[in-house]
Amino acid sequence: MSVDIVKNTGGPSDQIELKCGNSTCSVYLFGATIFSWKPDGFCEKLWISKQSAMDGITPVRGGIPISFPQFAGQGTLPSHGLVRQLMWEVQSSHSTDSSATVVLMLCDSEATRKSWNHSFALLYTITLSKMSLSVSLSIENTNKVDAFDFTTCLHTYFKTENIRNCAISGLQNLSYFDKCKQIPNNIQTDELLVIDDSITAVDCGNYIDRTYDNVNDDTSGSRCVSLIDNNKDSSCKLNLNISNSFINTVVWNPWIEGKKGSKGPDFDDDGYNFMVCIEPVVSTTPIILKPMCKWEGTKVMTISKL
């Protein structure tokens, strides 16, 4: 198993290559954005827009960008906060017989304090095993006096051959805020969420943008949401084990109009066919982090054949 740093890649930054047997995972230091995950025997599992600027300034459109200290437009900062467009550093790396791990780090700087005047240290631990990819975000308030609050997200874009042939399980009976229609307190009655042409786009143009409230399973400390991909070439089941510290799950697909043309110049016009975002999020109730305290959220993605 190995962890390599590849310099001058032509992408937005140097990148980290994790290898575990025939499974691979690639990460840009820019935004600590994981942009490729190819588990042994499967095709690429993360979607990247062909229009993504990759200029080291604009957040990568696809993969797994990180939102912090603000989820989406819930505040005065740019959409999804500050850290998906900053350069992270490698803090450490190691490998064992069955996994390869890199820990990336980002602390506050003069630039971040100009927009958000707080002290923080983020550690992002990425571990590739043969059939799984684990990501863990630790957020520390490094100020000895002041608390801060934050929202956050691991904005995961999954790739599929055709979204119409996919289903998402693990959301039944959960309440959700419908961000497209701005309607709170909906309940998902269906066991499976299928994203297809049967629901027409609503006014805001987004087809589906739901923020689910999770029901904590106190016995295990986590919950499972699954993406079942019934396509021929991308066929698989992806189990997402998400720690309860992420109090929300977001499902997003902009569909035809949501990110077309000037609404999303870095989003392929036909991209909605090939992606869905399933995101562990803290959105509805910000976390208040006391001085010198830490918060941690983890997602383990495990793949299997259908």
**Closest distance to ligand TA6 from the beta carbon of 32 (Å):** 15
Task: Please state, in angstroms and rounded to a whole number, the distance separating the CA atoms of residues 164 and 96.
Answer: 39
Is residue 80 a contact residue for ligand TA6 (CB under 6 A)?
yes
Place of tokens 């400390």: 221
Which one, 48 or 277, has the nearer CB to ligand TA6? 277
Judged by CB under 6 A, the residue of 1, 34, 60, 72 near ligand TA6 is 72
User: In whole angstroms, how far apart are CA 92 and each of 44, 126, 216?
Assistant: 26, 11, 32
Among 100, 250, 275, 303, binds ligand TA6 (CB under 6 A): 250
> CA-to-CA distance for 88 and 124, rounded, in angstroms?
10
CB of 65 to ligand TA6, least distance (A): 7
How far apart CA 31 and CA 50 sit, in angstroms, is: 18
Q: Does 157 bind ligand TA6 (CB under 6 A)?
A: no
Question: Both tokens of residue 137?
Answer: 């975000």
182 is a contact residue toward ligand TA6 (CB under 6 A): no
Sketch the per residue contact string, 98 through 127, with ligand TA6: x for CB under 6 A, - otherwise: ------------------------------
**Of 126, 208, 279, 282, the one binding ligand TA6 by CB under 6 A:** 279
Across-strand partners of 38?
24
Q: Which residues pair with 92 in a beta bridge?
A: 103
Pseudo-torsion of CA 39, 136, 33, 149, nearest 10°?
Answer: 160
Task: Select 127 or 210, whichever has its Cβ closest to ligand TA6.
Answer: 210
Within a 13 Å sphere around the CA of 129, how many CA atoms are in the beta-carbon half?
10
278 near 223, Cβ under 8 Å?
A: no
User: Comparing C-alpha atoms, which of 211, 253, 228 is closest to residue 167?
Assistant: 228
**Touching ligand TA6, residues 42-61 (CB under 6 A):** none
Residue number, 140 or 269, with CB nearest to ligand TA6: 269
State which residue, 18 or 46, has the beta carbon closest to ligand TA6: 46
Distance CA 36, CA 13 (A): 14
> Closest separation between CB of residue 83 and ligand TA6, Å?
13
Q: Which is nearer to ligand TA6, 42 or 71 (CB)?
A: 71
3-state secondary structure of 141: strand
Longest dimension (CA), the chain: 56
Of 25 and 250, the one with the shorter C-beta distance to ligand TA6 is 250
Spatial distance between the Cα atoms of 103 and 87, rounded to a whole number of angstroms: 14
Stretch that binds ligand TA6, among 23-31, 72-80, 128-136, 233-241 (CB under 6 A): 72-80
Is the CB of 1 or the CB of 240 nearer to ligand TA6? Answer: 240
Q: Is 209 in the site for ligand TA6 (CB under 6 A)?
A: yes
Cα angle: 155, vertex 157, 161; to 5 degrees: 170
- Cβ proximity to ligand TA6, 52 vs 160, nearer residue: 52
Least distance CB 261 / ligand TA6 (angstroms): 14
252 binds ligand TA6 (CB under 6 A): yes
Query: Could you tell me where the DSSP H helices lie in the chain?
Result: 110-115, 255-258
Q: Which of 22, 79, 115, 182 binds ligand TA6 (CB under 6 A)?
A: 79
Q: Rule CB under 6 A: which residues touch ligand TA6?
A: 72, 79-80, 155, 179, 209, 250, 252, 277, 279
